[in-house]
Amino acid sequence: MIKFYYLLLVSIFFFNFTLIAQRDNEKVSGEKEIVNQGDVKSKRTILDDSTYNVYGSKTTLFLEELNLIDENYEMRFIDTSIHNFETFTFLEKDKMNHQNLGNIGTALYNISDRKPKKFEITSGFESYTPYYEKYRNIKYYDTKSPFIDLNLIFGGLGRSTIDFSFSRNVNNNWNLGFDIHRITSDKQIGSIKSKGDRNVLSSAFDLYVYHNSDNEKYRFIANFLKFNHKVFETGGILVEDKDLPIEYFQYQDFEIQLKDVESHSLYTNFHTYNEYLLDSNIRLYYKFDFLSNNIEYIDQNLPQNIDFYDNILIDTINTLDTFNLKSYENSVGVKGKFSSIYYNIYFKRYDLKYSYYLSGINRKKSENILAINIKFNKNSFLINADASLKQNGNYNLNGTVKNKFFEGGYFSGLFNPTIVENYFYGNHFFWENNFKSKFYNQIHAKFKFSNDHFDLFPEIKLSSINNYIYFNSNKLPEQHTNQLYYNDFTLSF
C-alpha cells in the first residue's frame, strides 16, 4: 500500500508539472498584454475568457516498432473512446483465447492457436510469456506536452491492476518515456486470512527513447524492460469424488495441496532498432535484442507437501529448481517500397546458452535464419507472404489475402522442440530426449458481412500437426508420431 501512495504522489507531481509546462506555452493564446500608451511602465495582464486548450488528444501521437519495420511512418492518435472500457483482465482483452487458473496473473495457456509463437528455439517455460510479450509492445510518442496515461483497476477479493505511462519530447527529434505495470491478486482458495494473502505479485518497468532525425533519414529506438512475476502456488484442490458438491464452486474453505511454495519468473530485456534511408526505396536496418530469463520453483516445506509429488530425486528437505537462459539476437536487413509493393529481406543470428541449477552445466545453441517478407497493398486489397529458413532445414511459411469481404491464409512450418521438451533437470523429474521437429499446417478463411445495423464474421480453421509433443499422464514429454487434426469454427458478431 505504501508503494501505491508513492506511485500516486509521483503521478500528481508529473500532472502538476504538465499543467505548468502547458501554462507557459499557452501565454500567447491565453493572455493579452495591454500596454498603456501614456505610461510604458504601466502594464496590465487581462485573462482572455475566449482561450482554448492548445493541448489534447490530437497533439499526442504514437507509433510502434512494427510500424517502422512495415514502412508505416504515419503516427496515430491516442484512443480516447470508451470502447471495451469494461474489459480489464488479460483474458477479456484477448477475447478469451487463453485459459488461466481462475485468477488474474496466473499461468496462461492458449486454447485457440497451438502454433509456436517464435521460429527461434525457445525455453518452453511459456506460461507467463504472454504477459511479458504484452509489456514488450511499447508505444513511442510524439508529444507537444508531457503525457501521462494512468489506468487503475480495483476489483473484488483483493485483485487489482495498475498501468502507468509517462512520455515527453525533449525536442522535436527526441522522445523519452517509461511505463510501470503491476498485477496483484489474493488467493481465491486456501487463503489463511481475509485480505492480503497473495496469490500473484507481478511488476514490470520499462524505459525507452525514440529519435527521428531532422531529415527523417535516420530513426533510432532503444528500450530496457524488467519484468518480475511471482506466484504463491496453491496446487489447486484435490478432487476425489466425481459428483462435486456445490461448495467446490463457491471456494468455501477447501484445503489446497501446496503450502509455502513459490515460483518466480524474471525477464530482463534490452532492445535496440536502427534504420537509415539510403534511397527513396531502400532502407537499411539493424536490430539487437538481449534477454535474460531466470525461472525458479521453490518449495521450502517439502516434507509437508510430499504427497503432491511423484518423485524426489535429490533433496528431501527443500526443492530449488532453477533455469537460467541468456539469448542474443542480431538482425541485419534491407527494406523499402516500390509503389504498392513492400519488401523486407533480413538475416538473423540467434545465440543462446542455458543451464539448470542442479546440473551446473551450461549448454549453448546457435541459429542462422534467412527471411523475406513481401506485401502488396492497394485499394483495401492486401497480399502478404513471408518465409524464414534455418540452416538445419526448418522453415516457416505464411501467406494471407485480405479485402473488405474476405480474409484467408495458409501457414506451414517445421519447428524445433523447446528446451524443456528435450531436456529437464529438477528435484522431482529428469529427462533427456532427442525429439524430431514438429510439423504444422493450417488453412483458414474468414468472411465479413457488415452494414449499418450488424456485423457478422464466420471463420474456419483447418489444422494438422505431425510429431506433436505433449505431456502425458505421467507428467513426462512424449512425441506423437501420427498426424493430428483439429478444426476451429468461430462466429463473431
User: What pLDDT is recorded for position 243?
Assistant: 57
Based on its alpha-carbon atoms, the radius of gyration of the chain, rounded to whole angstroms, reads 27
Q: Cα 196 to chain center, whole Å?
A: 27
Q: Which among 486, 430, 492, 491 has a CA at the least distance from the CA of 113?
A: 486
User: What pLDDT is recorded for position 59?
Assistant: 87
**Widest CA span of the chain, in angstroms?**
98
Q: Which helix (DSSP H) or strand (DSSP E) does residue 296 occupy?
A: strand 282-299
Identify how many contiguous H helices and E strands the chain contains and give both numbers: 6, 28
Return the C-alpha cell found at 55: 493541448
User: What pLDDT is recorded for position 92?
Assistant: 87
Which residues of the chain are modeled with pLDDT < 70? 1-53, 240-253
User: What pLDDT is recorded for position 420?
Assistant: 96
Q: What is the pTM of this model?
A: 0.84
- Backbone torsion region of residue 374, taken as left when φ is above 0, otherwise alpha when ψ lies between -120 and 50, otherwise beta: beta
Q: How many CB atoms within 10 Å of residue 281?
A: 14
Q: How many CB atoms within 10 Å of residue 61?
A: 18
Helix, strand, coil abundance in the chain, percent, nearest 5: 10, 50, 35
Under a CB-based contact definition with an 8 Å cutoff, are residues 142 and 62 in contact?
Answer: yes
Angstrom distance (rounded) from CA 312 to CA 330: 41
What is the sign, positive or negative, of the torsion defined by CA atoms of 140, 141, 142, 145? Answer: negative
Angstrom distance (rounded) from CA 125 to CA 264: 12
Q: How many CB atoms within 10 Å of residue 289?
A: 17
User: What pLDDT is recorded for position 36?
Assistant: 43
Return the C-alpha cell found at 317: 528437505
Under a CB-based contact definition with an 8 Å cutoff, are residues 151 and 159 in contact?
Answer: no
| Complete DSSP assignment for 14-43 | HHHHHHHHHHHHTHHHHEEEEE-SS-TT-E
Q: Cα 235 to chain center, whole Å?
A: 26
Q: If DSSP codes are grouped into helix, strand and coil, which group holds residue 50?
A: coil
Angstrom distance (rounded) from CA 231 to CA 244: 27
What 8-state DSSP symbol labels residue 236?
-
- Return the half-sphere exposure (C-beta side, CA atoms, 13 A cut-off) of residue 232: 18
Q: Cα 203 to chain center, whole Å?
A: 13
User: What pLDDT is recorded for position 33?
Assistant: 38
> pLDDT digits over 167-225, tens only?
999 999 999 999 999 999 999 888 888 788 899 999 999 999 999 999 999 999 999 99
What 8-state DSSP symbol labels residue 351?
E
Provide the residue type at 47 as one letter: L
Q: How many CB atoms within 10 Å of residue 27?
A: 11
Cα dist from 20 to 16, 47, 165, whole Å: 6, 17, 19
Angstrom distance (rounded) from CA 97 to CA 100: 10
- Spell out where 357-380 has E strands: 363-378
Q: Which among 322, 390, 345, 385 has a CA at the least distance from the CA of 118?
A: 390
What 8-state DSSP symbol labels residue 280?
T
Angstrom distance (rounded) from CA 441 to CA 463: 6
User: What pLDDT is recorded for position 248?
Assistant: 63
Angstrom distance (rounded) from CA 125 to CA 293: 10
Cα dist from 91 to 118, 203, 446, 461, 483, whole Å: 21, 18, 22, 21, 30
User: What pLDDT is recorded for position 242?
Assistant: 63
Contacts of 412 (CB under 8 A, 6+ apart): 395, 397, 398, 440, 441, 442
Contacts of 280 (CB under 8 A, 6+ apart): none
User: What pLDDT is recorded for position 44?
Assistant: 46
| Long-range contact set of residues 363-367: C-beta below 8 Å, sequence gap at least 24 | 363/423, 365/121, 367/120, 367/121, 367/391
Under a CB-based contact definition with an 8 Å cutoff, are residues 115 and 135 in contact?
Answer: no
User: What pLDDT is recorded for position 228?
Assistant: 97
Give me the residue label for grid cell 497451438.
Answer: 114
User: What pLDDT is recorded for position 9?
Assistant: 44
User: What pLDDT is recorded for position 192?
Assistant: 81
